[in-house]
Amino acid sequence: MQKNTFGYGSLAGGLLAAPLVALTGLATSLLGFGFPPFLLFNWSTRVLPGPLVTFGIDLMIDTLRFLRIDVANAAKSAEQAMAVLFFVLLAILAAGIVFAMFSRQQTKPRVTSGLIVGAIAALPFIAIDFSYSQITVSPLVEFSWLVLVFLAWGVLLSMTYRRLSTADRETMPVEHKPGAVERIDRRQFLITLGLASATITVVGTGLAAVISTGRRSRQITEQPISDQGPPLPNTNDPILPAPGTRPEYTPLEDHYKVFIELQPSVIDGDTWTLPITGFVDNPLSLTLNELRQSFNAREQYVTLSCISGRIATTLISTTRWTGVSLQEILTVAQPRPEARYLHIRSADGFYETVDLDLINTDERIMLCYDWDGKPIPVDHGFPLRIWIPDRYGMKQPKWITSIEVSDQYKPGYWVERGWDEVAQVQATSVIDTVAVDSTFEREDQTLLPIGGIAFSGARGISKVEVRVDAGEWHEAQLRSPLSKTTWVIWRYDWPFQSGEHTFEVRCFAGDGTPQIAAERSPRPSGATGIHSVTQKVPSREG
Ligand SMILES: Nc1nc2c(c(=O)[nH]1)N[C@H]1C(S)=C(S)[C@@H](COP(=O)(O)O)O[C@H]1N2
Ligand SMILES: [Mo]
């Protein structure tokens, strides 16, 4: 042990970290306390330099793509797993250092040393919890719990150290072959510790899983059972999507999700109010009911996309948004003449600035409370989020908690981290399907449907073109979109040839501007480039 205190410390640290994660996780699902691995991770993504965070996200997305895992669905789970892993690694490292420090002292560590170690370890978590996260329970109770588990961790660490080094001394062989007895004793102790740790971890994790599954199913059953919703405005359009095209209206549960923290913010809609303060003559504090009832409801089919998506990203979805025009709300709030910007803040610490001039020229900009005719799901910003046409998601806060009208500009969360200040959506077109199993005959030709989407924010799509093997561009047919602010479904029926082919698509915005063909990475202004798909087309039977 004397020779390898750091190694033994790391081992003990790892063994003790697992039950620490399990127990705090259990308290999180039972009582809603902050979960130390997530607290640390959320905090670090916020304070680390933007480029580093972007690098980390890119690395994760690349890994997921390399493993052929759907980024939109798996990114959060991957991040959460990473947070736990970081925490455990940190605990291992810390325990190694603590053991090395213990070994330098003249006397064996006592309980007080363990308590000091625990208290020091607890400190950063309390600080983070206090400054960043929204504490749902009484802070005193939550902090006491955190202190308690870390103190226990420290004391167990010091006890483990004593136990392992006692094996050294009691069997300290002066005159005969050293090592054998002490090693067996130490091994037995470590096995016991490992088993105890594994038991607590398994029981704790299992209970936490059962509790959160129960809670989730309750949440789902509490949702009002919805009908199919109104018929889509383009049901009679004769141009049908090519088989294999993504759904034109994204099922709510499939809508992509992006948020900065490891978990969505949970807000109580009954007690939530929206303060509108600052440079206004009539400061407001609106409840959800007031927003719903005292203003005119507007409805809009919206395609939302994330600036960090690459060409043909899955981080794009379409649903129906309901809300109130910000113009109407501001008519009541009465901005003063000096007012220039709205500073919007969210429950998760996200923030964005909206130019008042933009609001004044676009009545569609709205504060939204419904998606798909139902309150916005928790993951997507319940109870209120903003919609700004033609902008990437990064400009559009969810979980809005306050709006302050100001004469000062202030960069938003992702702008501060190096992303585009305006974040206007780049025109993009994607091939969803080369429907080799759906060939059909028309006028003596056998045609192969190719199809997908094209999107250009609020600028509309005037034309989509497809080419095969770098040949001529052929104009595709456009289905009328759900609205002027959604993607457009296109299809091109190709008089096909068998063999392996490369298919490419490009689009033109409403005013005829072609999509940017040059390949550019998402950062800082959104990805550009031509989507291409290479596929084998089997020869026709018969
Ligand atoms: N409060 C808050 N709002 C937010 C974000 C966030 O992390 N926190 N992410 C933004 C980004 S980058 C995107 S792409 C969209 C995603 O919205 P969705 O998860 O509902 O698809 O939310 C935006 N609004
Ligand atoms: Mo985003």
Q: Give 298-327 pLDDT, tens digit per residue.
A: 999 999 999 999 999 999 999 999 999 999
Does residue 306 contact residue 247 with C-beta atoms inside 8 Å? no
Closest listed ligand to the CA of 414: 1
Pairwise CA distance, residues 141 & 99, whole Å: 31
The predicted pLDDT at position 221 comes to: 47
Pairwise CA distance, residues 405 & 144, whole Å: 38
3-state secondary structure of 221: helix
CA proximity to 488, closest of 454, 452, 511, 438: 454
Global pTM value: 0.88
Cα 481 to middle of ligand 2, angstroms:
23
What 8-state DSSP symbol labels residue 275? E
CA-400 nearest atom, ligand 1:
1
3-state secondary structure of 197: helix
- How many residues does the structure list for the chain? 542
3-state secondary structure of 305: strand
Cα 467 to middle of ligand 1, angstroms:
35
C-beta of 394 in contact with ligand 1 (< 6 A):
yes
CA-306 nearest atom, ligand 1:
14
The predicted pLDDT at position 154 comes to: 94
Angle at 132 between CA 388 and CA 401, to 5 degrees: 35
Pairwise CA distance, residues 349 & 131, whole Å: 10
Does residue 9 contact residue 99 with C-beta atoms inside 8 Å? yes
The predicted pLDDT at position 71 comes to: 75
Structural tokens at position 117: 């170690």
User: Which residue's CA lies nearest to atom 9 of ligand 1?
Assistant: 259
The residue type at 238: P
Cα 264 to middle of ligand 1, angstroms:
10
User: Which residue's CA lies nearest to atom 21 of ligand 1?
Assistant: 257
C-beta of 304 in contact with ligand 1 (< 6 A):
yes
Does residue 1 contact residue 165 with C-beta atoms inside 8 Å? yes
Residues of the chain with pLDDT under 50: 220-225, 542
Neighbours of ion ligand 2 (CB under 5 A): 258, 306, 393-394
CA-305 nearest atom, ligand 1:
14
CA-304 nearest atom, ligand 1:
21
The predicted pLDDT at position 1 comes to: 66
Q: Where are the alpha helices (H) located in 377-489, listed in sequence order?
A: 413-416
The predicted pLDDT at position 213 comes to: 74
CA proximity to 15, closest of 268, 189, 225: 189
Which residues does 112 contact at the CB level (< 8 Å), separation at least 6? none
Our mutation pick for probing the ligand 1 site, out of 274, 384, 396, counting the most ligand atoms within 8 A of Cβ, is 396
Pairwise CA distance, residues 102 & 162, whole Å: 9
